[in-house]
Structure 1
Amino acid sequence: MKKAEFLADADQKLDLTVLPDYYNLQGCTVYYQNNGSTMPCYDWQLQGEHDLLLRGKKRGSYLIYYNAYPPALTAETPDEFELPIARQAAVLLPSYIASVLYKEDDIALATALRNEFESGLARLTAGAGRTGREDFASESGWC
């Protein structure tokens, strides 16, 4: 999880694609900063995949924690480079890699390893809830 800071007005839409490694806001939090204090901001809404609508606060600095894509691995990446990913995700990588390597030699073992990876991934993504407020607005004025 990474963080970014934006200066914004209330009811302003922020395009999160300005963050080159932005992936999503699942399980992340938005904070409002004013006069040295930092408060959670619950009045935000994600529109589409990358437009963040800030509501309910006035002009100020917003601190956004977001999920980022890991850096790309190339031939020039040093062998001792450690991927900046969560430990919960890192422990799943050996199962995935082994499942790919055993595909040709032992399909039963490869399938078991892939199932282990998939179940771990499902547990990991199930726990990544999104904070923020969900509401609706009546267009007809009935409420």
Structure 2
Amino acid sequence: MKEISRWSASKEVVSLWSAYKEWDLVGLANISLDLTLRNATDTHAFISHLLENATDPAMKKWLNSCQKNYDYALAGIRDTFRDIASKDYESMIFTVDIVGAQALICEHSFGEKGHKSPLNHRNNDLNRLSNIVGAIASILMPPERDD
């Protein structure tokens, strides 16, 4: 029977743990990104509903602007699924930052003339969800090498 040194066994355990950790975090990133997609899709539909019923021209203008923000956010979320699959975590972080920014831009567009945003909770949720995905991507990103 081949004797395994402590170093060799430890190395295998670390290697297995690292592979499992990455898989687990990739799975968590996919779940988080799916929740982000569901939130953005639902909010986009909600904006369409609000637009159908809006009578105030200023509110229509802001809602149209937000709908464009959510168009960009949805496109970014779809790109991020490809980034996960290709392990391009740096692009993933960049893209989800843009997704979160779209929600904030939408939210801030309602600040004029004392109008309260009807999307406050939804925008905050999208921003938080995109931050979670970005944090997971940061953990998955390989450390920079000091060569």
Instruction: Give the TM-score normalised by structure 1.
Output: 0.29
Structure with more of its chain in strand, by fraction: 1
Structure with more of its chain in helix, by fraction: 2
Instruction: Give the TM-score normalised by structure 2.
Output: 0.29
